[in-house]
């Protein structure tokens, strides 16, 4: 069973929400954030990426960044840019991007469930990024962004959610091509039903936000040690999250660019690839099925089909396309053993499209592009259930959760 809680969220008014809300801190660079927030003092990026208000030469994790974030957070609260809801609420959050629609519940989840493994992960985290978000979170006394969680769908939960979406949304806005709708639900009997139904859900799964989840755990530890009257009921014992049923989610491909082929010619690369893959030239730029991939080099696209026996169909990691590529191409051919740190590889979210891959090779920035087939949500759940870790950059979820629509303060 897992625990979820309603909370008294802070929200911007409908007049300001379009100016306040912003992309998540980890999907845009500092340079992009400066451009995004330019001329907009209301943007939540002044909190989530506070370096935009400092000299661009400021070191990445300088103390002044956290101090600026805390100052900006306080000002937003003092100026009533965010106003706290008076009642404990659960927020229904719907996103529409083209044909993709997903409806989740914005709640507080339990840090205890994360620490005990009932909020399951499938990626490793980096200590420097954990350090950054944990310090940021502690300094601003707030969960500034949500952890994107999923669970195996329950029709009873779906029915309760649909019941409350019959009225117009409290927030309805479009940003960056995605429509975001929020319903603030204060019906305490309904909230209690939702809480009880999640007690029947054995586990939650992190789809996106591993560093936010880990940092919430670390922040709780720091706050607990600092609080002689700690009870376990404080808001810092929870983490703001949006819970989506797994059957509504869409994972996009997470593609690869190889910047340096270690002097191998195109003929050398094709010869080595042919040992593990059946190769044919193609006009297609994205594979149509699992265990296939398309590569682009020398102005041509090639389709590669994995040969029988190069992966274990019964192994939840070995059968992943991202692992097939890592083991049989990145490591075996290009000697890229740790893609998390090797500067010869770049990862490209599927939202950028295959034209971006082609352009990067044609411009000379990269030598070769790998167009992947998306990891399935069932594979993600299987890996997490096995307690295993996916290769880096295995999943790219769209649409992303918007920051600044609702925040959870301690």
CA atoms within 13 A on the CB side of 2: 29
User: Within this chain, do residues 94 and 59 fall inside the same structural domain, yes or no?
Assistant: yes
User: Within this chain, do residues 132 and 187 fall inside the same structural domain, yes or no?
Assistant: yes
Q: Among positive and negative, which fits the CA dihedral 130, 131, 132, 133?
A: positive
Q: How far apart are CA 290 and CA 285, in angstroms?
A: 15
Q: Which two tokens stand for residue 74?
A: 């306080």
Residue 186 DSSP SS3: coil
Q: How far apart are CA 201 and CA 204, in angstroms?
A: 8
Q: What is the pLDDT of residue 404?
A: 97
User: Within this chain, do residues 270 and 403 fall inside the same structural domain, yes or no?
Assistant: no
User: Within this chain, do residues 48 and 91 fall inside the same structural domain, yes or no?
Assistant: yes
| Residue reference for tokens 């709640």 | 107
Is there a contact between 72 and 46 (Cβ–Cβ < 8 Å)? yes
Is 281 part of any domain?
yes
User: Within this chain, do residues 275 and 322 fall inside the same structural domain, yes or no?
Assistant: yes
User: Within this chain, do residues 405 and 260 fall inside the same structural domain, yes or no?
Assistant: no
Is 258 part of any domain?
yes
Q: How far apart are CA 256 and CA 397, in angstroms?
A: 16
Q: Which two tokens stand for residue 196?
A: 């009880």
Q: What is the pLDDT of residue 348?
A: 93
| Residue reference for tokens 């491909």 | 253
Is 405 part of any domain?
yes
**What is the secondary structure of 229-262 as a DSSP string?**
T--S-SGGGEEEEEEEEGGG--EEPEEEEES--T
Q: What is the pLDDT of residue 391?
A: 87
Q: What is the pLDDT of residue 126?
A: 86
Is there a contact between 102 and 248 (Cβ–Cβ < 8 Å)? yes
The percentage of residues in the chain with a pLDDT greater than 70, rounded to a whole number, is 100
Q: What's the mean per-residue pLDDT of the chain?
A: 95
Q: Which two tokens stand for residue 327?
A: 């083991």
Q: What is the pLDDT of residue 27?
A: 87
Instruction: Give the domain range for residue 320.
Output: 254-373
Nearest to 320 by CA among 375, 371, 278, 369: 375
User: Within this chain, do residues 136 and 268 fall inside the same structural domain, yes or no?
Assistant: no
Q: What CATH number has the domain bearing residue 263?
A: 3.30.1760
Is 216 part of any domain?
yes
**What DSSP element (H or E) covers 346?**
strand 345-349
User: Within this chain, do residues 235 and 273 fall inside the same structural domain, yes or no?
Assistant: no
- Cβ-based neighbours of 16, under 8 Å, separated by 6 or more: 42, 81
Q: What is the pLDDT of residue 280?
A: 97
Q: How many domains does the chain have?
A: 2
Query: How many residues can be counted in the chain?
Result: 410
Is there a contact between 261 and 291 (Cβ–Cβ < 8 Å)? no
Which residues of the chain register pLDDT less than 50?
Answer: none
Is 383 part of any domain?
no
User: Within this chain, do residues 160 and 87 fall inside the same structural domain, yes or no?
Assistant: yes
Q: What is the pLDDT of residue 351?
A: 87
User: Within this chain, do residues 55 and 186 fall inside the same structural domain, yes or no?
Assistant: yes
Adjacent-strand bridge partners of 171: 182
Cβ neighbours, 10 Å, residue 54: 15
3-state helix, strand, coil in the chain (%, to 5): 35, 25, 40
User: Within this chain, do residues 259 and 235 fall inside the same structural domain, yes or no?
Assistant: no
Is 135 part of any domain?
yes
User: Within this chain, do residues 226 and 292 fall inside the same structural domain, yes or no?
Assistant: no
Is 391 part of any domain?
no
- The pTM (predicted TM-score) of the whole model is 0.91
- 10 Å CB burial of residue 396 (0-12, 13-18, 19+) is buried
Nearest to 109 by CA among 29, 186, 257, 209: 209
Q: How far apart are CA 56 and CA 59, in angstroms?
A: 8
Task: Encode burial over 308-339: b for 16+ CB neighbours within 10 A, e otherwise.
Answer: eeebeeeebbebbbbbbbbbbbbeebbebeeb
Is 243 part of any domain?
yes
Q: What is the pLDDT of residue 37?
A: 96
């Amino acid at each position: 069973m897992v625990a979820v809680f309603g909370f008294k969220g802070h929200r911007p008014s409908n007049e300001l929400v379009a100016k306040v809300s912003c992309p998540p801190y980890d999907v845009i660079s500092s340079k992009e954030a400066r451009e995004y927030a330019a001329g907009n003092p209301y943007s939540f990026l002044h909190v989530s990426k506070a370096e935009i208000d400092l000299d661009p030469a400021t070191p990445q994790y300088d103390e002044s960044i956290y101090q600026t974030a805390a100052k900006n957070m306080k000002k937003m609260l003092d100026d009533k840019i965010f106003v706290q809801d008076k009642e404990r609420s659960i927020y229904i959050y719907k996103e529409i991007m083209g044909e993709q629609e997903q409806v989740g519940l914005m709640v507080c989840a339990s840090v205890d469930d994360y620490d005990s493994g009932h909020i399951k992960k499938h990626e490793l985290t980096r200590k420097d990024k954990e350090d950054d978000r944990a310090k940021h979170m502690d300094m601003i006394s707030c969960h500034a962004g949500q952890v994107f969680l999923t669970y195996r769908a329950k029709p009873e939960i779906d029915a309760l959610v649909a019941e409350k979406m019959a009225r117009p949304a409290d927030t309805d806005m479009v940003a960056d091509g995605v429509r975001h709708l929020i319903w603030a639900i204060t019906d305490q009997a309904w909230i209690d039903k939702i809480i009880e139904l999640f007690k029947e859900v054995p586990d939650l799964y992190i789809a996106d936000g591993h560093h936010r989840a880990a940092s919430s755990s670390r922040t709780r530890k720091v706050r607990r040690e600092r609080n002689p009257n700690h009870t376990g009921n404080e808001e810092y014992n929870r983490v703001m999250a949006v819970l989506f049923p797994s059957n509504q989610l869409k994972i996009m491909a997470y593609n690869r660019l190889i910047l340096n082929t270690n002097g191998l010619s195109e003929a050398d690369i094709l010869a080595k690839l042919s040992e593990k893959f059946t190769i044919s030239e193609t006009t297609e730029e994205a594979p149509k099925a699992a265990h296939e991939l398309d590569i682009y080099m020398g102005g041509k696209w090639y389709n590669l089909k994995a040969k029988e026996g190069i992966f274990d169909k019964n192994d939840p990691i070995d059968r992943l396309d991202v692992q097939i590529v890592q083991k049989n191409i990145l490591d075996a051919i290009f000697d890229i053993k740790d893609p998390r740190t090797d500067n010869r590889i770049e990862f490209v979210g599927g939202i950028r499209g295959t034209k971006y891959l082609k352009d990067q090779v044609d411009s000379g920035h990269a030598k070769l592009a790998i167009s992947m087939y998306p990891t399935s949500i069932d594979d993600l759940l299987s890996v997490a259930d096995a307690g295993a870790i996916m290769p880096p950059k295995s999943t790219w979820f769209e649409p992303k959760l918007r920051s600044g629509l609702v925040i959870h303060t301690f």
